[in-house]
Amino acid sequence: MPPSTSFSKNLCRIALVIWVVSATILGWLFVKGVTTPSADGRTVVHLAPGERDFVLTEMRQLLQAVHGVVTGVSHPDQAQGNIQAAAAARSAGMVMAVDDNPTLMLKLPLPMKQLGMSVHRDFDELGDAITEGATSQQILQRLSTITTRCLACHEMYQLKEG
């Protein structure tokens, strides 16, 4: 076998090994994120200051959406209140999740990402249900299901810089 063919095969093997190692590391990061255990039993998610601020801002926007839905449901004019509630729900839907930073997403553990995406999807479905005429009780039941996942996430994770 000519030396150049042997060199090419070795180079291909090295490239394949590097690819497999890289894919494994990225897969591990996608599932585990950049985390450590904390003293209070939660998982610490380590983020850069700007990333932490981004996540906390998104959480405040989710809380604003919850407030908008509850305010809409309690509005004296049910039709006007439903318009407000549906708009508030949709503001926290998948449209909010579109601009997520890929680097940030790698740092979050998979269960946290799954909780977050399910909350966004459910807000979209809540907006649809409100538009389709869901009762106040049905709206509040759906909202309770959403906030249960918010509570679960806060009980499981802690965001820290670094």
pLDDT per residue, tens digit, the chain (162 aa), is: 555 778 888 888 887 778 776 666 666 666 678 899 999 999 999 999 999 999 999 999 999 999 999 999 999 999 999 999 999 999 999 999 876 688 898 999 999 999 999 999 999 999 999 999 999 999 999 999 999 999 999 999 999 998
Please give the angle made by the CA atoms of 103, 99 and 155, to the nearest 5 degrees.
70
Dig out the tokens for 67 from the structure.
Answer: 């407030």
User: Which pLDDT score, from 0 to 100, does residue 135 have?
Assistant: 97
Give dist(CA 103, CA 126) in Å, integer: 29
User: Which pLDDT score, from 0 to 100, does residue 41 have?
Assistant: 96
**Is 121 in contact with 109 (CB distance < 8 Å)?**
no
Query: What percentage of the chain's residues is helix, strand, coil (to nearest 5)?
Result: 75, 10, 15
**Is 48 in contact with 108 (CB distance < 8 Å)?**
no
Dig out the tokens for 51 from the structure.
Answer: 């990333």
Give dist(CA 148, CA 162) in Å, integer: 28
User: Which pLDDT score, from 0 to 100, does residue 13 have?
Assistant: 82
Identity of residue 66: V
User: Which pLDDT score, from 0 to 100, does residue 5 have?
Assistant: 79
User: Which pLDDT score, from 0 to 100, does residue 141 have?
Assistant: 98
User: Which pLDDT score, from 0 to 100, does residue 27 have?
Assistant: 67
**Is 124 in contact with 93 (CB distance < 8 Å)?**
yes
The helix/strand count (H/E) of the chain reads as: 7, 3
**Is 65 in contact with 91 (CB distance < 8 Å)?**
yes
List, in order of start, the domains of the chain with CATH numbers: 33-161 (1.20.120)
Give dist(CA 7, CA 149) in Å, integer: 54
User: Which pLDDT score, from 0 to 100, does residue 37 have?
Assistant: 95
The answer for residues whose C-beta is within 8 angstroms of residue 24's C-beta and 6 or more apart is none
